[in-house]
Amino acid sequence: MSDIDKTALRRLDMTLLLVFLSMMRHRKAVAVAREMGLTQSAISHALKRLRDAFGDPLFLRQPHGMEPTSVALALEPMVREAVETLDRALRPPAPFVPARAEGTVRIAANDNEIMTMLPPLLARLGNEAPGLRVAVHGLDRRAGLAALAQGEVDLAAGFFWGLPAGFDATPLYTQGYRVVARSGHPLIGQELDLDTYCACRHLVVSSSGDLAGIVDDMLAEQDRDRDVVAAVPLFMPALETAATSDLVATLPERLVGMYAHRFGIAVHEPPLLLREIVISAVVHRRNSASPLHRWLVGAFCDLFGTT
């Protein structure tokens, strides 16, 4: 901005530039006034301001009309480009047509959302927008929001609490938890009560390696605790470990519903009340009006929205 002559620019406005272009076409003030719905006096005043701004007569009166000077002829393509550029900027964004769309959509999510959302999302895009590719970034909440802020991803999916300013979240669904354990677990029968749950050895999923989480907070409110002996950063290893050991895991219910049968593990209701979480699709506010981003959020709502 330091090289821009702000004083000179303030002497112009869009009406002046439109008068200039109209005069270049018609070469007569009366025709310009008629085209623009202005008085001839207003056109004369605009031409005077243009002459003052550019330091040139611009148009010379001749018997057949107004003849542009060499400066006016040189200015015309630049003024036309400026007006057309601003006109394009002021037009509403072109509608997004999925069947003709091309490019790469970048999504941030942890492996829970990747495992539960990616397969149906790819199927949807394959049918409706085959020219779009999908690149998934395996990121937790904080890193996902940072990637959105930096423009590195288009959308983040997951559980986002205390969302900072600058982001728009669309709730998709609310989910609770299920407890998974291998069939034939030595402590767990058909029903799982709180005493048995606390007596089991537990595995948790934590990207940071923490050996405690929401379950431990809820147990502490009842003066209970559990024996957490391992933490893994991903959900798929948690399912595999629960299926092949005597460790139990408390995992998101949608994930368990989709994958527990593949591991042959038993599924139980938690024996304590755990607060549900809201899974949302989040975009940066600068993209909230983008036709592509609006369509993408709409696709997530169609596929996963239940709230």
Give residue limits of the domains in the chain: 6-90, 102-173+279-304, 177-275
The token pair at 83 is 């007006």
Q: Nearest-CA neighbor of 19 among 55, 71, 72?
A: 72
- State what percent of residues in the chain have pLDDT above 90: 73
pTM over 0.75: no
Question: Which tens digit of pLDDT belongs to each residue from 44-53?
Answer: 999 999 998 8
Q: What is the dihedral of CA 59, 60, 64, 68, to 10 degrees?
A: -40
Q: What is the CATH number of domain 102-173+279-304?
A: 3.40.190.10
SS3 186: coil
Q: What is the dihedral of CA 82, 85, 91, 97, to 10 degrees?
A: 170
Domains 6-90 and 102-173+279-304 share a fold: no
CA distance 243 to 260: 9
209-236 average pLDDT score: 94
219-236 average pLDDT score: 95
- CATH number of 177-275: 3.40.640.10, 3.40.190.10, 3.40.50.720, 3.10.129.10? 3.40.190.10
**CATH topology classification for 6-90:** Arc Repressor Mutant, subunit A (1.10.10)
223-231 average pLDDT score: 96
Residue 2 pLDDT level (bands cut at 50, 70, 90):
very low
Question: Which tens digit of pLDDT belongs to each residue from 188-200?
Answer: 988 899 999 999 9
Would you state the pLDDT for residue 83? 87
Q: Which of 13-27, 236-250, 290-304 has the lowest average pLDDT?
A: 13-27
Q: Which of 5-14, 91-100, 183-192, 230-239 has the lowest average pLDDT?
A: 5-14
Give the mean pLDDT of the chain.
91
Q: Nearest-CA neighbor of 206 among 249, 169, 145, 167?
A: 249
Helix or strand run (H / E) with residue 197: helix 194-199
